[in-house]
Amino acid sequence: MVRIIFIMALTLLIAPAVWAQSASGAPVPVEEQSEAMIDTLKRMRIKREENEHKKLLEKGTQILEISEELARNYAHQTITSLPREVEKKLKEIEKNARQIRSESGGSKDEPLESPPATLDEAINRLEETCRHLNEDLSKTSRRVVSVSVINHAIEVIEIVRVLKGYIK
């Protein structure tokens, strides 16, 4: 009997404390929760797109630097072939150009209308096209699909293919 009275008294003492906690901490309406969540998701998406665009710009700069190095080392020389170590650099240029092309909305490679006839012409054209690609990339925002960027990326890929034919 004493136990029952003790349990009832304890229940009567604890009940108001439990009731007070639930009354003061009213839940946030579902509409406000979803608006906050939507805003957070939008900010995260924008940040991700900005980071992806920044990476594209870095790839464009890498392509330009490698092509300038190739032009410095091999253009305006009387060589008829390229050494084997150039192959790695050409693969890097091609990989980055493919990524730029696909992330800019392009999908297919098209053959060059007038492929370079000599090694010197191919190296100079690669450098020039990489320069144009880098300039176009820096002018576009993350939301723009640039046909010029896509065309320059495709041209870089095709010139690299031509240059691979000159490797010993």
For 123-141, write each residue's pLDDT tens digit: 999 999 999 999 999 888 8
For range 20-42, the mean pLDDT: 69
Give percent of the chain above pLDDT 90: 46
> CB neighbours of 122 closer than 8 A, spacing ≥ 6?
116, 159, 162, 163, 166
pLDDT for 75: 81
Query: Which tops the pLDDT comparison, 21 or 67?
Result: 67
Q: How many CB atoms lie within 10 A of CB 89?
A: 17
Minimum mean pLDDT range among 17-31, 92-106, 147-161: 17-31
Minimum mean pLDDT range among 67-71, 79-83, 86-90, 163-167: 79-83
Average pLDDT, the chain: 85
Look up the pTM and report it. Answer: 0.74
Per-residue pLDDT tens over the stretch 76-105? 877 888 899 999 999 999 999 999 999 888
* pLDDT at residue 55 is higher than 90: yes
CB 126 within 8 A of CB 70: yes
Query: Which tops the pLDDT comparison, 90 or 18?
Result: 90
18 pLDDT band (50/70/90 cuts)?
A: low
